[in-house]
Amino acid sequence: MISAGDFRNGMTVEVDGNVFQIIEFQHVKPGKGAAFVRTKLKNIKSGGVVEKTFRPTEKCPAARIDRKDMQYLYDDGDFYNFMDNDTYEQIQLPKADIADEMKFVKENEVCKVCSHNGAVFAVEPPLFVELEITETEPGFKGDTATGATKPAIVETGAQVLVPLFVNQGDKIKIDTRTSEYLSRV
């Protein structure tokens, strides 16, 4: 059990039968009345965000989230297929549930598959990936002083904004959390 006074960003707790991740928390001590903890909680299954206040002495059970490294094998149309590298077991996850997380992941890359009580609810891609640009407009020489960007399509089919000097065929490094270009490789 975790008391509300010990909340930290990123913790997972069970509240009202649902599992939430703490996005933000704030200890508030008003001039009159008792102190309280104001939180923003994200439901890990539905993705919805709710705001809730707790008394500092209130206790919530900690939710155990299992993160397992699994290799992304292939996309068969409706499902993404993953394999556990230890047991060689394969699982299929619906494309509709995790398509956004998989937009920068190539086949054979290792991802973290997150589950609670055996039910998979999310996939965490690698933090940084190196991908080749398959389509972009040619850049202009000398037009780099403004920090301008242009859209580019990478080998997984995702679109990312890149500086004007990046050309088709270049390999670039991307931060998968923010979908931002970091550097050429």
pLDDT in tens, 143-172: 556 778 889 999 988 899 988 888 888 999
Domain 2-60, CATH class in plain words: mainly beta
pTM of the model: 0.70
Q: What pLDDT, on the 0 to 100 scale, is given for residue 44?
A: 81
Domain 66-124, CATH class in plain words: mainly beta
pLDDT digits (tens, 9 = 90+) for 37-69: 999 998 887 778 899 999 888 899 988 888 899
Q: In the chain, which residues fall in CATH 2.30.30.30?
A: 2-60
pLDDT digits (tens, 9 = 90+) for 114-125: 888 877 878 888
User: Out of 3.40.50.300, 3.10.450.50, 3.40.50.920, 2.40.50.140, which CATH number does the structure's domain 128-184 have?
Assistant: 2.40.50.140
- Written as six digits, the tokens of 4 are 């509300």
- Write the CB contacts of 126 (distance below 8 Å, at least 6 apart in sequence): 105, 109, 110, 111, 176
> If you ran DSSP here, which 8-state letter would residue 57 be given?
T
Query: CA 171 to CA 4: how far, in whole Å?
Result: 46
Q: In the chain, which residues fall in CATH 2.40.50.140?
A: 66-124, 128-184
